[in-house]
């Protein structure tokens, strides 16, 4: 879309806010294998659709065409992908004002952006932001207060809504060029590198605090008892067994073990270790 300084708008701000709200709130209410978030995309267009092709004698048919196009298959990360919705609304708006934008172009632009944004969104949101926030809030709760749960609930809601709305209007105002630009620029690399460093440190702290694995073996030799956990492992470094076990699980997952297989492995280790007394609680 050619970016000019004076772009005409026919959709009022209020309708746009309503659209962004519809997206963030109802997006996964009818999550399904056939179209994934397709209908949620259509639902997002409901508040704005009647502002398009208002003076067009053929408006009803054209509006229907827009809605049919927006009900198609769509799947993206909710918050990172909301800019695509903003962009699609802007494109449909300009198209309704007579810009020569083919309908297929809008669909293919949406489809081509959803892959990268889903990848980045899932990594940053579910791979970094949520684990770090959870780790800290879990730690607070486990000191014996409910405030960790409350803080997580409020922070996560605030972050999700603010980011989703801001990203929606970023897409609406800046268009596809700006989204592509962001995907290619170094900002993202910096963010990812910083997130990885911080995430790794917090995970290291989590292993030390919450993974428990103790050796229960005691070797009795002529009057003296040799406690393997205290005399051997704790002397090397406390918590060395939890660290080793976590790295083992990490390595197995790199070898494409599924989480269910790992759970079965943990149960087996627990049963064998508990019965033989090699491991203790």
Partner 1 sequence: MSISVLQAVLLGILYWIGEANLPFVGLWTIQRPLVCGWIAGIILGDALTGAMVGASINLVYLGFISAGGSMPADMALAGTLGATYAITGGLDADTALALAVPIGILGTLVWYARMTLDSIFVHVGDRFVEKEQYNRIWISNVLLPQIMAAVICIIPCSLAAYFGAAYIQDFVEMLSGTPLKIFQIIGGLMPALGIAITLQYIFKGESRVFLFFGFVVAVYSGLGLLPLGVIALLIALIYVQLAYKHGNDKSSIAQDAELEEDF
Q: For tokens 């919450």, what's the residue?
A: 210
Which residues 42-61 are close enough to bind partner 1 by CB under 8 A? Answer: 42-43, 45-46, 49-50, 60
The least distance separating partner 1 from the CB of residue 222, rounded to whole angstroms, comes to 29
Identify which of residues 91 and 124 has a Cβ nearer to partner 1 in the complex. 124
CB of 58 to partner 1, least distance (A): 13
Task: Please state at what angle helix 82-96 crosses helix 147-184, rounded to 10 degrees.
Answer: 50
Torsion-angle region of 23 (φ positive above 0: left; ψ -120 to 50: alpha; else: beta)? alpha
Return all residues near 98 (Cβ < 8 A) that are at least 6 apart. Answer: none
When asked if residue 269 is in the footprint of partner 1 (CB under 8 A), the reply is yes
Kindly tell me which of 200 and 235 has the beta carbon lying closer to partner 1: 200
Locus of tokens 């918050």 = 79
Pairwise CA distance, residues 148 & 137, whole Å: 4
Phi and psi dihedrals of 114, rounded to 5?
Answer: -70, -30
Which residues inside 186-245 make contact with partner 1, applying CB under 8 A?
186, 189-190, 192-214, 237-239, 242-243, 245
- Restricted to residues 98-137, the positions that interact with partner 1 (CB under 8 A) are 115-116, 118-120, 122-123, 126-128, 130-132, 134-137
Does residue 63 bind partner 1 (CB under 8 A)? yes
Residue 31 or residue 226: which is nearer to partner 1 going by CB? 31
Question: Do 14 and 36 touch, CB atoms closer than 8 A?
Answer: no
Q: Which is nearer to partner 1, 8 or 28 (CB)?
A: 28
């Amino acid at each position: 879309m050619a970016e000019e300084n004076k772009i005409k708008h026919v959709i009022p701000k209020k309708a746009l806010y309503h659209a962004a709200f519809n997206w963030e709130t109802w997006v996964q209410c009818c999550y399904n294998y056939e179209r994934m978030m397709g209908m949620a995309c259509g639902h997002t267009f409901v508040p704005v659709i009647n502002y398009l092709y208002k003076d067009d004698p053929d408006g009803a048919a054209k509006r229907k065409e827009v809605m049919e196009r927006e009900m198609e298959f769509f799947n993206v990360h909710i918050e990172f992908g909301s800019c695509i919705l903003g962009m699609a609304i802007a494109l449909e708006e300009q198209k309704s004002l007579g810009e020569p934008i083919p309908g297929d172009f809008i669909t293919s632009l949406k489809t081509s952006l959803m892959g990268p944004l889903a990848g980045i969104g899932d990594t940053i949101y579910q791979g970094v932001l949520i684990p770090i926030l959870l780790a800290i809030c879990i730690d607070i709760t486990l000191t014996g207060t409910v405030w960790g749960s409350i803080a997580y609930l409020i922070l996560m809601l605030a972050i999700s809504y603010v980011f989703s709305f801001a990203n929606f209007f970023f897409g609406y105002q800046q268009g596809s060029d700006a989204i592509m630009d962001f995907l290619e620029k170094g900002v993202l690399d910096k963010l990812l590198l910083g997130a990885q460093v911080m995430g790794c440190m917090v995970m290291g702290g989590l292993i030390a605090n919450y993974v428990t694995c103790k050796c229960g073996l005691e070797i009795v030799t002529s009057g003296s008892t040799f406690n393997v956990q205290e005399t051997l492992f704790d002397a090397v470094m406390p918590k060395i067994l939890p660290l080793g076990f976590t790295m083992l699980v990490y390595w197995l997952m790199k070898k494409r073990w599924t989480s269910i297989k790992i759970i079965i492995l943990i149960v087996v280790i627990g049963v064998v270790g508990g019965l033989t007394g090699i491991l203790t609680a």
